[in-house]
Amino acid sequence: MDMAVRVAKNGSAMRQIISEEKRRQIVAALKDNPNAKQVAQKIGGVSHTTVGKIAKAAGVALAVAKSGWLSAEQRAQIIGALKADANKTQAARKIGVSRRTVDKIAKAAGITLAAAESGKRLSAEQRAQIIGALKANPNASEVARQIGGVSYAVVWNIAKAAGIELTRGRPARDHRPNKVLR
């Protein structure tokens, strides 16, 4: 075994001791590819932090990863998915990244997300449509399903602001007779 690990009394690894042979392999791999994470994965049995320290000691300049943990291919997939459909949730699920990551990539690429997905406020027309639907049917859950693209909570907040009493949901539960408070 070309690598030894000192073990503390509690059983955790304290420090890796890497052989000169493995150090040479790491330095050679860094000259071909200055990405510490990729070299650590290629060599195996060593962390990217250790590879970075070895690179610093050997005077090898590492590439600055501006793209974070995503590869250029993943970024291209996300941009392609957003161009096909500006829904960040679907793009995130398809690629296997968070919605926040998709937000950042969309912003950097200048892609406008769907209005409901971008966190923008509802337009006056959408609010009027929700209020009209609530007046016809004062049930926030049903109105949210009927309108689409809005949550129960958004409809409930609009009803509260407009002074519309809902038939089901929180207002109905808050006024139960014989409710015992503890």
Write out the DSSP string of 35-65. -HHHHHHHH-SS-HHHHHHHHHHHTPPPPP-
Q: Cα separation of 79 and 39, whole Å?
A: 27
- What residues have CB less than 8 Å from 83, skipping those under 6 apart? 111
pLDDT at 178: 56
Contact at 8 Å (CB) between 145 and 175?
no
Interval 139-163: pLDDT, tens? 888 888 888 888 888 888 888 888 8
End-to-end CA distance of the chain: 66
Band (168; pLDDT cuts 50, 70, 90):
low
Contact at 8 Å (CB) between 94 and 84?
no
Cβ atoms within 10 A of the Cβ of 102, count? 26
DSSP 16: E
What residue type is assigned to position 95 of the chain?
A: I
Q: What percent of the chain has pLDDT over 90?
A: 3
Interval 25-60: pLDDT, tens? 888 988 888 888 888 888 888 888 888 888 888 888
pTM listed for this prediction: 0.33
Cα separations (Å) of 125 from 55, 107, 131, 133, 157? Answer: 59, 26, 10, 12, 16
Residue of 144 and 15 predicted with greater confidence: 144
What's the average model confidence in pLDDT over 57-73?
A: 73
